[in-house]
Chain A
Amino acid sequence: MLDVEKIRADFPALSREVHPGVRLVYLDSTATSQKPDSVIEAMNTFYRRNNANVHRGVHTLAEEATSLFEQAREKIARFINAANPREIVYTRNTTEAINLVAHTWARKNLQAGDLILLTEMEHHSNLVPWYMVANERNLRLEFIPITPDGLLDLESFEKLLELKPKLVAFAHMSNVLGTINPASEIIEKAHQIGAITVMDAAQSVSHLRVDVQSLGVDFMAFSAHKMCGPTGVGALYGKLALLESIPPFLGGGEMIKEVKFGSFTPNDVPHKFEAGTPAIAEAIGFGAAVDYLNGVGMEAVAAHEHTIIEYALDRLEEIPGVKVLGPKADKKGAIAAFTFDGIHPHDVAAILDRDGIAVRAGHHCAQPLHNKMGIPASTRASFYLYSTREEVDALVNGIYKVKQVFS
């Protein structure tokens, strides 16, 4: 079992007051997690001591910066069990990682009439990049529907596979419903018909052990800031042969081997996708975040979150008028999005904030999913390794106060 009090002491923001005398109850880790001291210190130390540009120059600081930057890449690769650190491309975030695949792999390999298969529970970041390339190349789009209890409809998925999609892109964990999708099964079935798979792991890598080799996924996108790391850096995992087969993304420094007047030769993978000076301190912070999670153990993180979400669903469902979206605790991560008695989520969130409780209100960048469920928006409480039962109780008490304000 995980020692929550010990973990909470690692996260300085968790002990702050939001209003005088009101302690923060942070239930918005799905938007971004809080950061432990070790991550903040790793970046701080870099700027105070090692700051230099990477892959340039031969002076001591440049060597140190490059080593730290590449060591972080190795840590990230090991964390998801990539076969080779070169399969990790630094990006700004999950969104940029997905855009990278859409701009390079999709543009190179898809022709007019080809089908991209998505799901109804995607975040905008795993929809809009595909819409953009589909508009440009006249591609078709289909969506794997969701069942009334918020799971992917796998029978429909199999039927859609008969249409022979060239690419299947899906979220490992829904950022609204919390649904953990059966990634192995989806990837295996997609591969059987020769499709390439892209997994949005923004919500899963931070909460579960994800092993890209055992999943066999072709591309996977994730962000540091959801997993105790800083904003501004994320990663695209891609199978080496695939990454080597596709053209560069952005052009500029670092992504080239040689430039002449009028032509260039791209650099090797992964550098050919990393044009310009990257977020060096943030990448090092990303590595420190991986170290931190490894220190706790992802199995312990997942087990702790499971007990919290079970408790949260039990308590939330006690409240008259609360309807939690998505499946039961055994099929979901630690995300509880809900509607409450016709009270607008903005009002729910603003009133909860009086008690220092931070939740998200809106459509959480999943507007098509909310439309499908027939609601304009929802309130979302999300939990992480530092969340406690007492915080769930605070949320429940807060929701009763919301009711009072509007009664």
Chain B
Amino acid sequence: MEDLYRENIIEHYKNPSYRGKLDPHDISFADNNPLCGDHIQIDLRVDKEGKVSEARFDGHGCAISQASADLLLESVIGKSIEDVKKLTRQDILDMLGIDLGPVRMKCALLSLKVLKAGVYGLGEATDELVE
């Protein structure tokens, strides 16, 4: 079987580079995964050209959800908001380098859901954002 707990995932979980909050921020959004009580908040700062200049996530959850949040934020630095909107579930899976079953997929996609709800300025994070 593929190993969900590869070294890089554990490393991002234990020593995340993007954990924290940004105050002030330009975009902030938070959501839960009701299945397991995971919670993620993402704050972004956006520069004059509409590119992400800083990003932080806060919250709690399993290694997969927290590591994917860290990997995701690492990938959005310097990206335009329009490009952030185009991120898909496959991008997350590529970053993690693993394939996931339907249950763990929700853990992995929570941060992308929160990020996209934030950049679209939506009131809630729906599964449609990560389909």
Contacts and interface: CB of A to CB of B under 8 A. Distances in A.
A405 B37 contact: no
A377 B65 CA distance: 15
Interface residues of B, number: 18
Given A376-B37, A405-B10, A347 B1 contact: no
B78 interface: no
Contact of A376 (B4, B5, B36, B63): B36
B107 interface: yes
A355 to B, nearest CB: 11
A336 to B, nearest CB: 19
Interface in A345-366: 345-347, 350-351, 354, 361-363
B1 A377 contact: no
Interface string B1-32: 10011000010001000000000000000000
Contacts of B61: 344, 346
B108 to A, nearest CB: 11
Contact of A344 (B1, B4, B10, B36): B36
Contact of B37 (A347, A363, A406): A363
B79 interface: no
A362 B1 CA distance: 23
Contacts, number: 48
Interface in A303-355: 344-347, 350-351, 354
Contacts of B38: 344, 376
A344 B63 contact: yes
Interface residues of A, number: 17
Interface string A371-401: 0000011000000000000000000000000
Contacts of B37: 362-363, 367, 370, 376-377
Interface string B22-60: 000000000000011111000000000000000000001
Given A19-B1, A405-B10, A376 B62 contact: no
A347 B35 contact: no
Contact of B36 (A19, A351, A361): A361
A363 B36 CA distance: 6
A346 B1 contact: no
Contacts of B1: 19, 354
Contacts of B107: 346
Query: Would you call the interface of chain B mostly helix, strand, loop, or mixed?
Result: mixed
Residue of A346, A363, A376 contacting most chain B CB atoms (<10 Å): A346
A344 B39 CA distance: 12
B96 interface: no
B5 A344 contact: no
A350 B61 CA distance: 14
Given A344-B61, A346-B62, A406 B10 contact: yes
B64 interface: yes
Contacts of B64: 346-347, 350
B36 A350 contact: no
28 contacts: A344-B38, A344-B60, A344-B61, A344-B62, A344-B63, A345-B36, A345-B62, A346-B36, A346-B64, A346-B104, A347-B63, A347-B64, A350-B4, A350-B64, A362-B35, A363-B36, A367-B37, A370-B37, A376-B36, A376-B37, A376-B38, A376-B39, A376-B60, A377-B36, A405-B5, A405-B10, A406-B10, A406-B14
Given A344-B61, A376-B37, A376-B39, 6 more contacts: A344-B38, A347-B63, A361-B36, A363-B36, A376-B38, A406-B63
Top 7 A-B residue pairs of the complex, sorted by shortest distance between their CB atoms: A376-B37, A346-B62, A344-B62, A362-B36, A347-B63, A377-B37, A347-B62
